[in-house]
Structure 1
Amino acid sequence: MAKTASASATAPFLPLLLLVLLSPSTAEIKSLTISSDTRPMILLEKFGFTHTGHLTISVSSVSVITLHPTSPQPDPSLLGFFLLNQESLLQILLEIQQNPSLCVLNSHYITHLFTFADLSPPPSASLNRSFPVPSPNEYSLFFSNCAPETSISMSLVTHLFNLEPDGYKNFLSAGQSQLPFLYFVFAITYFVFLLLWTHICYTNKLSVHRIHLLMAALLLVKAINLICAAEDKHYVKVTGTPHGWDIPFYIFQFIRVVLLFTVIILIGTGWSFLKPFLQEREKKVLMIVIPLQVLANLASVVIGETGPFIKDWVTWNQIFLLVDIICCCAIIFPIVWSIRSLRETSKTDGKAARNLAKLTLFRQFYIVVIGYLYFTRIVVFALRTIAAYKYQWVSNFSEEAASLVFYVIIFYMFRPVEKNEYFVLDEEEEEASELALRDEEFEL
């Protein structure tokens, strides 16, 4: 019975552990509205503070309603705000297991801010307070409702920031202050990459296919997306609000992701440089991936613009993750189809060396795509999870660096050249490649 009671007591708090792990350190001046919420704990923000960290909370329009009209009004000291670092969250879960009736606001593992007992009397029921952070760390800002069978409605405005040596407020988390410069450097790199790609296409214009023009568009959109990301983070860092830069960021992010998946699918099918058309099944892959990316972009906007305080925040994260996995799996099929088609064609058309080279190319392309997806989805997530809060920018740098390496490899493999080693081979190599092809088929 004791184990059952402990399990039921900690059950409502287990999703919070998932929330804290999933939610990145956010920033900005946030305006939140909570309406008729019965959750015992609500994660509002997560932020990395330095030794000059400060927090300001403005609460207004507070309303506490009991779910049963005959129930007395709850003790206002049972509802309040506190800060909690990730290490202390585990301690609190253990503490609640040992004492299921414990109110989190009474735990000595939290940094207590204030309760509803400190609010001005009704009808205003409001409060505006600032707090220095006791010690540098990554903290989660929580609201706790220890009064059973009550619902809470209120409006919140939060300011989380670190003071710079010159006295200015830095509204970016301690691990994200480097992001504006980081994104700007990568944006310049992609613009240089685009100029180099344009030069290669112009120099070899007789070998340029439609896919090469689409690849140039991908570079342009990627560079603009990074510029928007840099400006977005810069304005958040300085003013606490993105000043509208988040809108073009999400637009170009959507276009960039759709273009990237489309380019991978089209290269995987051999479109434009191996064949001038798409088969029906390849069109279906595109028709599946693009609408899914619309859904993924919608989930990304909800996740980025709301925050973990909304009830469906975990659900939107799960939707984004599921859609991303489906899209990553879908783009692999055209590459596999091309490899299988080249393998079968090699047996019948007598051009062993050329088909073996194409087969080798698409196998290398397959390995590169798998490596890119694995690194950006799994390794980057692991870095984001295990890295100290001051070095959260390392995961962003790793993701952008991996993307740049992926682009360079793919663009080099499928560059427009007059005599591409993969597509134009001397007839003298045919006989020697026949034996290599047989060995290839034997291994398969």
Structure 2
Amino acid sequence: MKWIYLAIVLTSVLSLVQARPELVLENDSRNLITIGSFGFLAGGKLTLELSHLSLSDRLAQGILAFYIHRSSTVDSAYQDLETADEGSEDDEANDGDVPTCVLDHEIIRNEVQDGTCTILTVPDNQTVWTYEHIVAADEEALWTIVFVNCKHGSDVTLTLKTTELNPGPNHLSAGDSPLPKVYGSVAAAYVVAACIWGWALTRPDTKIFWSHRLMLLLVILVGINKALQALKYHYMKIGVDAEGYTISVYIFAFSDRVGMDVHQAFSFRQGQARHLCCDPITGLQVAFVPKCDHRITNTGYNSCSFFFTLDHR
């Protein structure tokens, strides 16, 4: 077990010295390349730094551009692009001429006129290109950035560094900003629960089974998992790559799942789970403890569903 924890510590430390990862494309033939989504607040800043730009065929007709869509959901941006892309393919099939760029579709043109999207054309005769924008009060929304290659038949090679900042500075999306405190609070709650559970196991009038000790270990593992998640989002908030903490979170999440399965097996083997199958039950105390399962969304909502039992006889 020692080498496992040593590996966790090493990956966590190494993640602190790595720079924020860049997007590197080599001879990519895709027309639409999703960069990512980020919830901006007023005063936020978006920076796009493009370098090492090259094309397999610079004489190909069309443009290179960034499509930036502002909305309340990610799906709306992708739906508009997919609809426009399908329309472009239909135009190509009907006309038989040079394929129409997805950015020329009526849906995209209407978005530009309405101010819900921005098209940033990238000069194809330059290898380095930079864009900076300060978010205004009326531009607060979920920004979705997509790289569009309308040079049909030409593969693109580039390196892109994207920096997204909210006031603070805060590198987390608007919906994810409370997550460090949320996970920190949940971790603290599990520490308290572990203390109460440990105290209950030491009471002289309590009959102890192995499943009870396993449950204490499980609560401790979940608490460590939530503490690592709090650290991960804290370092993401200040702009440090938290990949090492992400790996640690997955390891402890797996441990939680294995621990739950082992606990259930011990409970049924020792007869402590009979109350799940038969009645009546006497002297059963059930304590509910929230176990937050964070969905990877821009709202950062969590769902809670976890319980453990202690049978006093």
Q: TM-score range by the shorter chain?
A: 0.7 to 0.9
Give me the TM-score of the superposition, normalised by structure 1: 0.53
Alignment of 1:77-116 (within 5 A): 78-85=63-70, 86=74, 87-98=76-87, 100-101=90-91, 102-106=100-104, 107-108=108-109, 109=111, 110-116=117-123
Q: Offset at 1:130? A: 1.6
CA contact (8 A) 1:201 1:416 kept: no
Q: Structure 2 vs 1, CA of residues 263 and 38 (structure 1 numbering), >3 Å: closer, same or farther?
A: farther
> What secondary structure, in the 3-state scheme, does the structure 1 residue paired with 2:151 have?
coil
Match of 1:48?
Answer: 39
Alignment of 1:214-293 (within 5 A): 214-242=214-242, 244-267=244-267, 270-271=268-269, 273-274=270-271
Q: Offset at 1:170? A: 0.7
Give the distance between the partners of 2:262 and 2:196, measured in 1 at CA: 22
User: Which amino acid is the alignment partner of residue 78 of structure 1?
Assistant: I
Match of 1:33?
Answer: 24
Give the distance between the partners of 1:241 and 1:233, measured in 2 at CA: 10
Q: Once the two structures are superposed, what CA deviation does each residue of 1:340-360 show, in whole Å capped at 9, x if it has no partner?
A: 9x6xxxxxxxxxxxx5336xx
Give the distance between the partners of 2:33 and 2:153, measured in 1 at CA: 16
Q: Structure 2 vs 1, CA of residues 248 and 94 (structure 1 numbering), >3 Å: closer, same or farther?
A: closer
Alignment of 1:164-183 (within 5 A): 168-183=168-183
Structure 1 segments, 4+ long, off by >6 Å, are: none
Residue 188 (structure 1) aligned with residue 188 (structure 2): yes
> What secondary structure, in the 3-state scheme, does the structure 1 residue paired with 2:310 have?
coil
CA contact (8 A) 1:29 1:160 kept: no
User: Which amino acid is the alignment partner of residue 83 of structure 1?
Assistant: I
Alignment of 1:292-307 (within 5 A): none
> What secondary structure, in the 3-state scheme, does the structure 1 residue paired with 2:225 have?
helix
Match of 1:211?
Answer: 211
Q: Max radius of gyration: which structure?
A: 1
> What secondary structure, in the 3-state scheme, does the structure 2 residue paired with 1:357 have?
coil
Give the distance between the partners of 1:205 and 1:79, measured in 2 at CA: 74
Q: Structure 2 vs 1, CA of residues 79 and 189 (structure 1 numbering), >3 Å: closer, same or farther?
A: same
User: Which amino acid is the alignment partner of residue 102 of structure 2?
Assistant: V
Match of 1:128?
Answer: 130
Structure 1 vs Structure 2: percent identity of aligned residues? Answer: 23
Q: Which residue of 386, 409, 415 corresponds with 2:310?
A: 415
Q: Structure 2 vs 1, CA of residues 63 and 339 (structure 1 numbering), >3 Å: closer, same or farther?
A: farther
Give the distance between the partners of 1:105 and 1:204, measured in 2 at CA: 74
Give the distance between the partners of 1:97 and 1:73, measured in 2 at CA: 25
Q: Once the two structures are superposed, what CA deviation does each residue of 1:352-392 show, in whole Å capped at 9, x if it has no partner?
A: xxx5336xx9xx9xxx9xxx99x97xxx87xx87xxx5xx1
Structure 2: 5+ residue stretches without partners: 1-18, 92-99, 112-116
Q: Looking at secondary structure, tell me which structure has more helix per residue.
A: 1
Give me the TM-score of the superposition, normalised by structure 2: 0.73
Q: Offset at 1:98? A: 4.9
Give the distance between the partners of 1:185 and 1:49, measured in 2 at CA: 25
Give the distance between the partners of 1:49 and 1:234, measured in 2 at CA: 18
Query: What is the root-mean-square deviation of aligned Cα atoms in Å?
Result: 3.3
CA contact (8 A) 1:214 1:263 kept: yes
Q: Structure 2 vs 1, CA of residues 151 and 95 (structure 1 numbering), >3 Å: closer, same or farther?
A: closer
Q: Structure 2 vs 1, CA of residues 96 and 185 (structure 1 numbering), >3 Å: closer, same or farther?
A: same
CA contact (8 A) 2:53 2:157 kept: yes
Q: Looking at secondary structure, tell me which structure has more strand per residue.
A: 2
Q: Once the two structures are superposed, what CA deviation does each residue of 1:386-405 show, in whole Å capped at 9, x if it has no partner?
A: xxx5xx13x22xx1xx23xx
Q: Offset at 1:200? A: 0.8
Give the distance between the partners of 1:265 and 1:36, measured in 2 at CA: 52
Residue 356 (structure 1) aligned with residue 279 (structure 2): yes
> What secondary structure, in the 3-state scheme, does the structure 1 residue paired with 2:133 have?
strand
Structure 1: 5+ residue stretches without partners: 1-27, 67-71, 276-334, 343-354, 420-444
Q: Structure 2 vs 1, CA of residues 193 and 139 (structure 1 numbering), >3 Å: closer, same or farther?
A: same
Q: Once the two structures are superposed, what CA deviation does each residue of 1:255-300 show, in whole Å capped at 9, x if it has no partner?
A: 2232234334543xx12x328xxxxxxxxxxxxxxxxxxxxxxxxx
Match of 2:10?
Answer: none
> What secondary structure, in the 3-state scheme, does the structure 2 residue paired with 1:143 have?
strand
Q: Structure 2 vs 1, CA of residues 210 and 339 (structure 1 numbering), >3 Å: closer, same or farther?
A: closer
CA contact (8 A) 1:235 1:243 kept: no
Q: Once the two structures are superposed, what CA deviation does each residue of 1:200-232 show, in whole Å capped at 9, x if it has no partner?
A: 111157511111111111100111111111111
> What secondary structure, in the 3-state scheme, does the structure 2 residue paired with 1:245 have?
helix
Q: Once the two structures are superposed, what CA deviation does each residue of 1:6-58 show, in whole Å capped at 9, x if it has no partner?
A: xxxxxxxxxxxxxxxxxxxxxx9441222222221111111111122221112
Give the distance between the partners of 1:98 and 1:199, measured in 2 at CA: 66
User: Which amino acid is the alignment partner of residue 148 of structure 1?
Assistant: H
Q: Structure 2 vs 1, CA of residues 38 and 133 (structure 1 numbering), >3 Å: closer, same or farther?
A: farther
Q: Offset at 1:133? A: 3.7
> What secondary structure, in the 3-state scheme, does the structure 2 residue paired with 1:203 have?
coil
Alignment of 1:148-159 (within 5 A): 148-159=152-163
